[in-house]
Amino acid sequence: MTGAPHNRLVLAIESSCDETAAAVLRGREVLGDVIASQAELHERFGGVVPEIASRRHLELLDVVVREALDQAGITDLTELDAIAVTRGPGLVGALLVGVAGAKARSWASGVPLIAVDHLMGHVASALLDPEAALEPPFLCLLASGGHTLVLDVDAGLRVTLLGSTRDDAAGEAFDKGARLLGLQMPGGPNLAALAATGDPGVVRFTPAMVHHEGFDTSFSGLKTALSVAVRERAVRGEGFSDADLAAGYEVAIVATLTGAVRKLLKARGAGSGHPDARTTLAVVGGVAANTRLRAEMTQISEQFGMRTVATPLRWCGDNAAMIAAAAQFYPEQAPDIARSLDAYATSPLFSHRELVPN
């Protein structure tokens, strides 16, 4: 975005799924950061229940906002330069709680509002590592519970979609695999922990789309293959351990992601020295917390003469700090105009192949 100040003092609110979060940032400096998870609330249902999530957001929003402001030493909203909020994609009922809270605070204080796309927040989360000192442009792998995207990010944080999943997202595949193996929420981390105790060579699953043209991914076939393996083991009454199944399954998910990235780096001339070639690969989203993925992405980047920057672990999942970081690239909306702000379930990125902060 042209002309946006990148050192604004911003309060951000995130409520797209089952985390109620608020953060205060000055530029990229995190002054206050609160994330209230609902994982235990939804655990018995085996997944997030939208109505329950929305009601819990209503209970928690004022509390987390107040705590984030207290951490930052903000006593009055008028001290802020802007209030930012996730407007989508996500669960619409959950999003509307955050949007309504942000609009009310903007209207009451006269502080401008900034509406941020959740996916742009994940992209901007890579900027929160002070040691990396990352600046756009860069290439980006976004792998989360709801999305798996291969992106090109330009200097204004404008994002072009290069590839996406044909079916399930990588994080969804982790969660569904965990459920098949009888693991509790959060599925992805629990499956990875189990996989660390297993042998990935015992059960080999075939990565998807690695030899296809383009940078799309697919994970539904891997989920089906795991389901078949679990069912066949139950029929025989013996066979592979859960740990070995988890290890083979994790390796295949990671190989699917790295396969898309390898094709991308080859196509984009990474390491060629061409003036238009990107020199950095950012790995963001909840799946970016996976240890195997982080290690393999670093190895791939080194092979291509690239630098890998992975989002700091605290901000891989849904959080408000990433929304505040993305907001630095967005224009402000006056409170009277922002009153009409609404939420959306699906990002415009999927219809236009490009997402521009606006």
Q: Do the beta carbons of residue 42 and residue 185 sit within 8 Å?
A: yes
- Token reading at 355: 């997402």
pLDDT band at 278 (very low <50, low <70, confident <90, very high): confident
Share of the chain above pLDDT 90, in %: 70
pLDDT given for residue 339 in this prediction: 77
Write out pLDDT tens, residues 82-91: 999 999 999 9
Average pLDDT in the 114-129 region? Answer: 95
d(CA 311, CA 213): 28
Give the 3-state secondary structure of residue 83: strand
pLDDT at 276 over 70: no
pLDDT given for residue 42 in this prediction: 66
Record: fold of 9-125+316-355: Nucleotidyltransferase; domain 5 (3.30.420)
Share of the chain above pLDDT 70, in %: 93
The residue among 135, 157, 172 whose CA lies nearest residue 279 is: 135
* Maximum Cα–Cα distance across the chain: 67
Q: Helix 187-195 and helix 242-267: axis angle, to 10°?
A: 100
pLDDT band at 274 (very low <50, low <70, confident <90, very high): low
d(CA 100, CA 144): 25
**Superfamily of structural domain 135-310:** ATPase, nucleotide binding domain (3.30.420.40)
pLDDT at 267 over 60: yes
Write out pLDDT tens, residues 64-74: 999 999 999 99
pLDDT at 354 over 70: no
pLDDT given for residue 112 in this prediction: 94
pLDDT band at 357 (very low <50, low <70, confident <90, very high): low
Average pLDDT in the 245-255 region? Answer: 97
Mean pLDDT in the chain?
A: 90
pLDDT given for residue 107 in this prediction: 92
Write out pLDDT tens, residues 295-345: 999 999 889 989 999 999 999 999 999 999 999 998 887 777 677 888 898
pLDDT band at 4 (very low <50, low <70, confident <90, very high): low
- Token reading at 346: 């699906």
Average pLDDT in the 108-137 region? Answer: 94
Write out pLDDT tens, residues 32-62: 999 998 777 667 776 777 788 889 899 999 9
d(CA 316, CA 30): 15
pLDDT given for residue 1 in this prediction: 38
pLDDT at 3 over 50: no
In the chain, residues under CATH classification 3.30.420.40 are 9-125+316-355, 135-310
Q: Helix 170-180 and helix 187-195: axis angle, to 10°?
A: 70
Average pLDDT in the 281-286 region? Answer: 96
